[in-house]
Structure formats: C-alpha cells, structure tokens
Amino acid sequence: MAKFVVTPWEVTGDVNYDKLVKDFGTTRISKQLLEKTKKHTGKLHLFLRRGLFFSHRDFDKILDDYEKGKKFFLYTGRGPSGKTHLGHLMPWIFAKHLQDKFKAEMYFQLTDDEKYLVKNLTLDQTIGFSYDNALDVIACGFDPKKTFIFLDTEYSKSLYKMAIRISKHITFSITKSVFGFQNSSNIGLIFFPAMQAAPCFFPSELKKKKMNCLIPAAIDQDPYWRGIARYVAPKLGYPKPAQIHNKFLPGLGESGKMSSSKPNTCIFTTDDPDIVKRKIWNAFTGGRGSKKEQMEKGGNPDICKIYQYLYYMFEEDDKKLKERYNNCKKGKILCGDCKIYLTNKINKFLKEHQKRRQKAKRQLDKFILRD
C-alpha cells in the first residue's frame, strides 16, 4: 500500500481514511447517525451525503444532548500562513451549515503564533494573513451575532489563562508522542498545542457554564483533540470536545491534497477567472490519449480530479453527477467538456465569494473578538 503521512503540519501521499480511523481511534459516521442528523437538518448536506465528512468523536452525544435541550458551540480555525484555498473552505462551509441548522455560536481561531513558529514567516506576516483569511471566513456567510473570530497574539489575555491551565497537565513526553516533537523543536511549538486546545473550553468560562463543543475540521487536526483537549477535559472539569472530520480536497495534480505550497494545483479564493481556467485546463484527468480512444474505451472518473471536484463541492445535483460519471465511463463525453463545466462552476462560486469577501472588509469589527 502506498505510503502516506497525515499530521497537523504535513499531509502527503494518497490518504487511506480507513487506516486513519483505525490508527486515530475515531468512529466512522454511520447510517443511523446520518438519520439522526437529518431529523435536525432536513436534507443532508452534500458533504454528509457523499461521505466527505466521514468520521467523528461524540457527534452522537452532541445530538443526544441537543435533543435534551443542551446546546453546543462550534469551534474551528486556520493557521494563517498564506492565502485561503478551496480545501480550507470545506470545514467552514460545513460549520456555517451547522450554525444555521442548530443556531450555534461559532468560535474561530487564527493561529498566527503557530505559523510564525513553524514557517519561515515574520509575526507581522502571519498577523497580516490572519486578517486576510478572516475575510474568507466572513464571506462564508456566518452570523455576525453568533460568530467570534480571534487571533492568538491579540486575544491572548483570555486564551493564555486557559492554555496555561491546560499545559500544566501535558508533559513534554505526551507532546513528543502525539506530535513527534524532538529535543530540537522550539519551545514555542511545544507549548502551542495548549493554545489550540484552549478554545474548546474558554467559551464555558465566558458563559459561566459547561458548554458542549463540536469541532468541524479535516482529520489532520485530530492530534490536538485526541492527545490534548480530550485528555485534559476531565482533569479541568469540562465536557470532552466532540469532532466531525472531513476528507481532504485533492490538489489538481495526480496525487496529494490541495495545498498552498503547490500553487499550480491549488485554487485560491482570490484567483481570477483566467487563472482558474488555466489551472483546471492543466489538471490531472482520467482521460485517454486521444478523442477516438476516449470514445471507444471511455474515461476513468475514479482517478479524475475534475470529477472529484464536482463530487466534493461543485455538483450539488446527485443525479447529474451520476450521469456525468456514467457518460465518462461510456466515452460519451470528453475531458474538455468536463473542464469547461467545472471552470464555469468554480468561477461562478468564486465571483460570489469574492464579492462577499470585499464586503467583509467593512464587517471585520463585528466579528473580531478582543479582550
């Protein structure tokens, strides 16, 4: 089996999600859990219908408690090391859906400290990217009255008090085994997991009552919850935070997730229509060498990035998606057709997103939490 790596700082290779569920000790989202979710959300979100949010911890308990009248808050975030790409939007779009359906508050952490510690960037740069990325968060359409965005370096009074309480229970040996830290790792990074765990609990302090927390994020962030937040929760007297994990939107190349470090196979939310067109045109497809061969033998949508993008985000209609899959296999459509179709879908989506992003510049103050 091909080798792959999934850590908060590195995702490479073709990810085997079954293996991750086993290794991380999470639970696959079952049919029953989907049925239970549907009772509250109506038609299931595309990400759930298509198994893109695929694994969880205690999401069932969150729903049980909710049914008994106990609300929960949402928590997610971004490490501001550059521009936002379409993959980052997946957990945020889903968080916005959950906010709407469950009328939940959402806490959004921008870890400018983390990215300063791990990347070759200055603090001014990671703070700058925080404010830039916050525009994408706001553009997802969150409710300003229920959404709180904060930067670690700027909201430190509240966060630090919680992080320091967490850190007292976490030994160097725990962080070494959870994150693979070495003696050569800088001490900022060794402390940092306490900062990322802090928002699981500090809303309980703000509200002066024990609040349930649900974290939508890709599965690369799991070590923070498994190794730190869920471990310290009972020691500090808070409920263990629950998670719902998404798969990675792939890059446009042959393998690997969408990643800002590979800008040609990555679509940024600020890309112009022509750039999107060029990137899609050069994407890896499951097409044959010639038109004739494609029509005779059919293409392979299972390995095609264009098809995957439609599957992940850009073809809401399940019936149309299936038709495209079958038509590709039968050689009834050519890669060029699908590329044009996807380019138009993405550009339409980005046009709206970019408009909201522009508007968000005037709304920042309504969302940013300060102490």
Q: Does residue 55 interact with ligand TYM by CB under 6 A?
A: no
> Which one of 6, 8, 310, 315 is in contact with ligand TYM (CB under 6 A)?
8
Q: Does residue 220 interact with ligand TYM by CB under 6 A?
A: yes
Q: Does residue 87 interact with ligand TYM by CB under 6 A?
A: yes
Q: How far, in Å, CA of 76 to CA of 105, rounded?
A: 11
Q: How far, in Å, CA of 368 to CA of 364, rounded?
A: 6
Q: Could you give the string, one character per residue 226-265, with x where binding to ligand TYM holds by CB under 6 A and - elsewhere?
A: --------------------x-xx-------xx-------
Nearer to ligand TYM, 105 or 220 (CB): 220
Number of Cβ atoms within 10 Å of the Cβ of 234 = 10
Q: Does residue 196 interact with ligand TYM by CB under 6 A?
A: yes
Q: How far is Cα of residue 361 from the mean position of the Cα atoms in its chain? A: 22
Q: Does residue 298 interact with ligand TYM by CB under 6 A?
A: no
Count of CA atoms in the C-beta half-sphere (13 A) of 40: 21
Query: Taking the complex as a whole, how short is the minimal distance between the CB of residue 333 and ligand TYM, in angstroms?
Result: 26
Cβ-contact 252, 279 below 8 angstroms: yes
Number of Cβ atoms within 10 Å of the Cβ of 183 = 6
Q: Does residue 77 interact with ligand TYM by CB under 6 A?
A: yes
Residue 355: both structure tokens together: 């408009």
> Which one of 178, 217, 304, 360 is in contact with ligand TYM (CB under 6 A)?
217
Nearer to ligand TYM, 111 or 294 (CB): 111
> Which residue in 209, 215, 246 sits closest to 230, CA to CA?
215
Q: Does residue 90 interact with ligand TYM by CB under 6 A?
A: yes
- Scanning 123-201, the segments in alpha helix (DSSP H) are 123-139, 156-167, 172-179, 187-197
Binding site for ligand TYM (CB under 6 A): 8, 75-79, 87-88, 90-91, 109, 111, 114, 196, 215, 217-218, 220-221, 246, 248-249, 257-258
